[in-house]
Amino acid sequence: MIQRIAIIGLGTMGPGMAARLARGGLQVVAYDVAPAAIERARSILGIAEGVLDSLGVTSPASGAGTVRFTDDIADAVSGADLVIENVPENISIKADVYRAIDGLIGPETLVASDTSGIPITKLQAHISHPERMVGMHWSNPPHIIPMIEVIAGEKTAPQTVATIRDLIRSIGLLPVVVKKDVPGFVENRVLYALLREAVDLVERGVIDPEDLDTCVSWGIGYKIAVIGPMALLDMAGLDIYKSVSSFLNADLSNRDDVAPMVLQKTNASKFGIKSGEGMFSYTPEQIKALQGERARKLVAVRRILEGRE
């Protein structure tokens, strides 16, 4: 049974994951190599907890869990039933973490990666007990989005998948077990198909970035939260899909490299909210306001989708 969880990496994803797991009654120890990331995580933990309150996420009868921060990786993983690796999307950085914890974790400890899409089979080549390693792909913001993908690599034991799936369920979240270890799994294959086309349309001047967002959010985005893609095909009619896709599929972006517009921006350190500029520009005040407004709206939508309002 999973009771103690170590989170390695406290950037965009780590603090919200810590808050959500603790709310589920688990004992979380949170570690990052960068002291500034630990301080930032400490300061935003309370915000995530406030959002969980407004979502009505309660603790189990056994009581709320805890989050403890540490700057010592050995301390973080000591006694952990599960280690969730949450460091940047780079195999060599992730492999360094697996090597660092290999001799520190117990014989029963499971290791999960929150990778956005590196096949688990590739990651488990860097750990001595690959049967205990699994993909556990959260969606951002992790304290609000309930769906988590669970992915087995070639060497993952079925029991490891079952334990993580049951853990997710036991704290009121929604596990989706992906049946094949394909790059990007399912959520990001679908998201990146959409993002490739969206970036291409903006880059070619077909539409302005603000209008692209309006079109997608108030068109397919709003609809797809209620009617998933497979159900949408039936609602539109497969005959219509056949007619449109017969001419449209061939015209969609099929570029297999990163779009120049994205490269230009990342080369200039324009990463989005984390650097103050990306597709749009943000002042620190705007970032704070946006994050609050987005959390409020996501909470309200989720309550309605769950039939609670």
Ligand X SMILES: NC(=O)C1=CN([C@@H]2O[C@H](COP(=O)(O)OP(=O)(O)OC[C@H]3O[C@@H](n4cnc5c(N)ncnc54)[C@H](O)[C@@H]3O)[C@@H](O)[C@H]2O)C=CC1
Binding segment toward ligand X, per CB under 6 A, in 61-69, 85-93, 190-198, 201-209: 85-93
Residue 112 backbone dihedrals phi, psi, to 5 degrees: -115, 145
- The residue nearest ligand X at its CB is 11
Please tell me the total number of residues recorded for the chain in this structure: 309
Nearest Cα to 305, choosing from 241, 244, 228, 196? 228
Residue 34 or residue 287: which is nearer to ligand X going by CB? Answer: 34
Q: Which does 81 bind (CB under 5 to 8 A by kind): ligand X, ligand LMUV7VF2, none?
A: none
72 among annotated binding-site residues:
no
Q: How far apart are CA 150 and CA 179, in angstroms?
A: 9
Q: Which does 33 bind (CB under 5 to 8 A by kind): ligand LMUV7VF2, ligand X, none?
A: ligand X
Pick one of 16, 18, 81, 86: the residue that binds ligand X (CB under 6 A). 86
Residues ≥6 apart with Cβ < 8 Å to 96: none
Q: Least distance to ligand X from the beta carbon of 116, Å?
A: 3
Given CA atoms 138, 142, 143, 147 in this order, what sign does their dihedral have? negative
Residue 99 or residue 255: which is nearer to ligand X going by CB? Answer: 99
Cα 140 off chain centre by? 5
Nearest Cα to 98, choosing from 127, 134, 129, 73? 127
Q: Which does 48 bind (CB under 5 to 8 A by kind): ligand LMUV7VF2, ligand X, none?
A: none
Q: Identity (one letter) of the amino acid at 216? A: V
Residue 84 or residue 171: which is nearer to ligand X going by CB? Answer: 84
Q: Which residues, listed in sequence order, are joined to residue 152 by a DSSP beta bridge?
A: 134
86 binds ligand LMUV7VF2 per the rule CB under 6 A: no
Residues 133-192, interacting with ligand X (CB under 6 A): 138, 140
Instruction: Report the DSSP pairing between strands 66-70 and 27-31.
Output: parallel
Q: In angstroms, what is the C-alpha Rg of the chain?
A: 20
Binding segment toward ligand X, per CB under 6 A, in 80-88, 156-164, 169-177, 202-210: 80-88
Residues 139-178, interacting with ligand LMUV7VF2 (CB under 6 A): 139-140
Residues ≥6 apart with Cβ < 8 Å to 247: none
- Known binding residues for NAD(+) are 9-14, 32, 89, 94, 116, 140, 274
**Which residues would be at the binding site for ligand LMUV7VF2 (CB under 6 A)?**
116, 139-140, 188
